[in-house]
Every structure is written in structure tokens, then in C-alpha cells.
Amino acid sequence: MSAIVIKVSTNEMKKITQYYQSDRLAKTAPYTLFTAKKNQTTITAYQSGKIMFQGANAEKEAALWGNATASTQKKTVAANTLPAGFSEKNAIGSDEVGNGSYFGPLVVCAVYAEQGHLSRLKEMGVKDSKMLTDQQIRAMAPKIKALVPFQLLTVTPEKYNQIQPAYNTVRMKVALHNQAIRLLLEKIAPQKPEAILIDQFTSEKNYRTYLKAEKHAVTAPLFFATKGEQYHLSVAAASILCRTVFLDALDKASKELGFKVPSGAGHPSDLVAAKILQIGGEELLGKYAKLHFANTEKAKIIAQGK
């Protein structure tokens, strides 16, 4: 059995922990943060900052995060692979929100920002949605929509649960990013972007492998970068529009159910899911949650009072 060990920074560990949230195993060994099973690979994260990948696809799974010893190394690689002056180019940027949250939809957005838009976006305070409050995001979104062409795609939890068995998370996101970009290209035609930047969620090789399955694949001029909002404001604008749709969906779910539906995939989500199960069973839960997450089984145990 092949095994690969990488060491990551604290920030990178948080990102990886969130990524494997839905694949985590209940049992954990001493000195570990989590153990997960995905793509025939066991992933074990240690308190020391090391992560071990064991199994048939260990090399492929580890390649998602590289052999970096710190997240700054990934930043340098991304910056070096982007053309000079990239941040000032006429570019499409795409991002997604909701992938790591048990409740709420998976939302993907592509935004086309020309040079003439960039100063206006900066004046608005556009940056990574994770660095903004919900109030700031909601105030900014209408202004972004009025300024730049965009394409939003939303996969509701109900739809997500229907397609998830056939589409793993990465394949689903590749399909959505590609579709959002393709539809946006049609909107702005005959204009053509100098570049298309995807906020990287898997390796470029992996993305292009899944892309081959798409009927209308956009293959160029594609670029990939982790923390893509740092390299072009189109990605930051896309993340804000995604986040707004996601927040609105959680608010709508909370109103329909009569109690607050949280984001994320922590214990509060288990408790709310258990409450929904008690009201309407798994059928009702499937309208609001991504059922393949480990939270579902935890919620069932709580709902049964065990």
C-alpha cells in the first residue's frame, strides 16, 4: 500500500480539514486531528501538521495539496505560473461557495471584469468574501451585479442529493465551473477574455481530466490559483455573489422550518439535522442538507436519543 506524507501550515490544515469534513471517520487515533476515507485513500491529519495519505490513490489525493511545507509555497507557485500583469487583464474569474457546508446549496459564479471595472471594484471594497461580514456582502452584491457581467449557478440540496452518487464533489464542481464560464462567454460575445482564472479546488491535471467528460468544455485560456481572489478581482467578485445566494438560501430554509439553519458542518448542524429528522424524516432533511455528509448519520443517532 502506497503512503505519502506532506507537511502543511496551520492555515492550510484548516482548509484541508474543511475539504474532508464530509468524508471523516468516527474513530481517530491519539495525536490526530481527523481521519477520512476518500477515493480509496485513507487521509490522516496529525497535530504536528503532517498529513498521511495511504491507499490506491494516495499519490493522486496528495497531489491536490502538493508537497508544500507551508501554504506560502503554494502561493509562490501560483504567482509564478500566472502571466505578468495578470491582475490588470480583462478576465473571467470563477469561485464557489457551499461545498463544505452540510446545509444550503452549492453555488458557483463566474464574473467578467475588464480593466475599466477594476478600479470601481476596488472602490467598492471587493475582496475575498471570507474577509467580509454578511452585511457587507449583501450590500456589495447588487452593486457588483450592476457593474459586471456574471453567471450564477445554484445546486439546491435536493438536486445535489440526486446527482451526488454519480458525481463526486470534484467532478460536480468541474461541471458547474465549466458551465458557468461557458454561459458567461456566450453573454459577453463577441468580447473574449484575455484569461479565465478558476479559484483552485483541485489540481489542474485533475480538473482537465474531469473536463473531458463535459460536452461543451472550455479549455482555454484557463488558469488556476489557490486563493484566486488575490490575483484578480473577478474571482473576489464571484465569491461575493456566491456567498449572497448561499446566505439567502439559509435564511429561506430557516424561515420555512421555523428555526435557524447553520452553515458549516460542525455539531450545531448535527443538532438541527436531528430536529428536522424528528419532524419529517430523511425526506424532509434531503430538501435542506447534503445527505452524504457524515452529519446525517450523527443526526440519526441524536434523533433516536442514543
Domain annotation covers residue 215: yes
Domain annotation covers residue 14: yes
Q: What CATH number corresponds to the domain at position 52?
A: 3.30.310.10
Question: Which pLDDT value is given to residue 11?
Answer: 82
For the stretch 203-208, contacts whose Cβ atoms lie closer than 8 Å and that sit 24 or more positions apart, written own/partner, are 203/63, 203/64, 205/63, 206/60, 206/63, 206/64, 206/170, 207/174
Domain annotation covers residue 256: no
> What whole-number distance in Å separates Cα of residue 38 and Cα of residue 22?
10
Domain annotation covers residue 242: yes
Tens-digit pLDDT profile for the chain (306 aa)?
457 888 888 888 888 988 888 888 876 677 788 888 887 788 888 888 888 888 777 777 787 775 443 333 344 345 447 888 999 999 999 999 998 899 999 999 999 999 999 999 999 999 877 788 899 999 999 999 999 999 999 999 999 999 988 888 899 999 999 999 999 999 999 999 999 999 998 889 999 999 999 999 999 999 999 889 989 999 999 999 999 999 999 999 999 999 999 998 889 999 999 999 999 999 999 999 999 998 999 999 999 885
159 and 229 both lie in a single domain: yes
> What whole-number distance in Å separates Cα of residue 167 and Cα of residue 176?
11
Enter the DSSP assignment of 82.
S
Q: What are phi and psi of 28, to 5 degrees?
A: -130, 145
Residue 191, domain extent: 84-250
Domain annotation covers residue 258: no
240 and 104 both lie in a single domain: yes
117 and 187 both lie in a single domain: yes
Question: Which pLDDT value is given to residue 247?
Answer: 95
Residue among 176, 160, 170 nearest 57 (CA) = 170
**One-letter amino acid of 38:** K
Percent helix, percent strand, percent coil in the chain, to nearest 5: 50, 20, 30
Check residue 40 and give left, alpha or beta (phi > 0: left; psi -120 to 50: alpha): left
127 and 215 both lie in a single domain: yes
Question: Which pLDDT value is given to residue 8?
Answer: 83
> What whole-number distance in Å separates Cα of residue 300 and Cα of residue 256?
21
Q: Quick check: bond before 221 cis, omega within 30? A: yes
Q: How many domains does the chain have?
A: 3
186 and 123 both lie in a single domain: yes
98 and 244 both lie in a single domain: yes
222 and 283 both lie in a single domain: no
290 Cβ partners below 8 Å, 6+ apart? 22, 101, 102, 103, 106, 157, 160, 161, 164
240 and 93 both lie in a single domain: yes
> What whole-number distance in Å separates Cα of residue 22 and Cα of residue 13?
16
3-state secondary structure of 137: helix
Domain annotation covers residue 132: yes
